[in-house]
Every structure is written in structure tokens, then in C-alpha cells.
Amino acid sequence: MRTSYAALLSAGLLLAWSGPNMAQEPASLVLSARDIGFPVIDTTITFTREAKHTYRVRFSNPPPAPEYAMLYTGLQFCAARKLATESGFDRVAFVPEADSPQSGFAVFLAPGEEASKTLDQRFANASFGAVELLARNCPAQLPSAKQ
């Protein structure tokens, strides 16, 4: 009986501690390309949280032609930088979704976290880059996220 009570108490304390931390992270981030400073492309990017470190990324419109891919990538990096900065992450990896050219996953790590110990196994071997290095040319002040 003591063991059950101790386990229940531990679970309650863990939930109480992690609850406020999870609430600090935006559940989703929606930014328009034009609002961020990409007037040439007509799309909205959405990051929807699936787990603490994992977000599904989706563009409202796919690139109209291959030459727009770099602009879409820039938009993705700027939006990821905003989300990472607001949530305390310092590294990001993008994992494309095989069956959808408009969507994929963004996986984030906080300082000191190891992918193999923090993430779902399917993302543990992703190639991570420093948020600041990937998104150097983003506007300093991005508009508020529509959540």
C-alpha cells in the first residue's frame, strides 16, 4: 500500500511540475509569409505541437514552382526560430513527411538535451542545427503568433 501511495504521489508531483512548463510553450504557431516579410509567396505556415519537442509543420499552399523552394525553407527557418526562442529551444531538425510535400515535422531540443534520450525514436537520428545559425536573416521583430 505504501508503494502505491508513493508512486501516486510521485506521479502527481511530476504532473504538477511539468504542467506549468508545458503551458509556457505555444501549442501551435501560425504565421503568414507576407507578415514575416516574404511578399513573393502566398502561404501560411503552421506548427502544431504533437509532443513537448515535436511539432507538425504544414504550409497552407505548396511552392508553385521549384524556384520557390528556397523561400519556403527561409520561411520555415524564421518561424522555427520564433517558436524556439519563445520556448527555450536552441536546436532544430526538420524531418519531411514522405507522403506530403506540404508537411513534415520540426523537432526541437533545449540546451543540454540529447536527441536519443529526449525524443521519440523516429526522430532520434535527425540532423540538428543551431537555431541562430539556420535563421540569421529573419526579421528581428516577428509579428505575434496567431494561436
DSSP for 40-94? Answer: T---EEEEEESSSSEEEEEESS--SSGGGHHHHHHHHHHHHHHHHHHHT--EEEE
Q: Is residue 117 situated within a structural domain? A: yes
Q: Is residue 72 situated within a structural domain? A: yes
Contact 120, 92 (CB under 8 A): no
How many domains does the chain fold into? 1
Provide the domain limits for residue 69: 26-134
CA distance 121 to 137: 32
Q: Is 100 in a helix, a strand, or coil?
A: strand
Q: Is residue 2 situated within a structural domain? A: no
CA distance 75 to 88: 20
Q: Is residue 120 situated within a structural domain? A: yes
Per-residue pLDDT of the chain (147 residues; tens, 9 = 90+): 444 333 333 333 333 333 344 445 556 889 999 888 888 899 999 999 999 999 999 999 988 999 998 889 889 998 999 899 889 999 999 998 878 778 899 999 999 999 999 998 989 889 999 988 877 777 765 555 444
Q: Is residue 141 situated within a structural domain? A: no
Q: Is residue 142 situated within a structural domain? A: no
The candidate with the shortest Cα–Cα distance to 96, out of 56, 124, 130, 132, is 56
Q: Is residue 20 situated within a structural domain? A: no
H or E element that contains 104: strand 100-109
Q: Is residue 9 situated within a structural domain? A: no
CA distance 133 to 64: 27
